[in-house]
Amino acid sequence: MLKGSRRRFSQEFKDEAVRMVLDGPRTIAEVAREFGVHDTTLGNWVSTYKRTRAEEEPHSLSGPERARLRELERENSELRERLSFLCCDRFPA
C-alpha cells in the first residue's frame, strides 16, 4: 500500500465486524484477521459502537450478557415446569 493512502470501509462493513465481536466468543484479533483489518482499527470501531450505543440505549446488554440472560430464562422456565408438576399446578408458569 502506498504511504499516505488509506483504505475506506463502508459503515455496513464496520457494523458487521463489530457485531461479530460483540455477539460471539471470538476476540477482536480473530475477527480483524478474518476481515483483513488491523486489530487496533477494529478495536476502535468496537469502542465507538459501545460509546454511541451507551448514549442511545443506557440499559443495553452485551452479547455474552444476552446469552446468559437467555440461558437463565430457559432454566427458569424449566424449573417452573418442574415445580408446577410437583405441586399439582398450584404455581402457574
pTM for this entry: 0.56
Whole-number Cα distances in Å, 44 to 3, 32, 40: 21, 11, 6
Q: What residue ranges do the domains of the chain occupy?
A: 10-58, 61-93
pLDDT at 39 over 60: yes
Q: What is the pLDDT of residues 46-93, one digit of tens each?
A: 999 988 876 666 567 778 888 888 899 999 989 988 888 787 655 555
pLDDT at 37 over 80: yes
Tell me the C-alpha distance between 57 and 35, whole Å.
27
Query: Quick check: helix, strand or coil at residue 29?
Result: helix
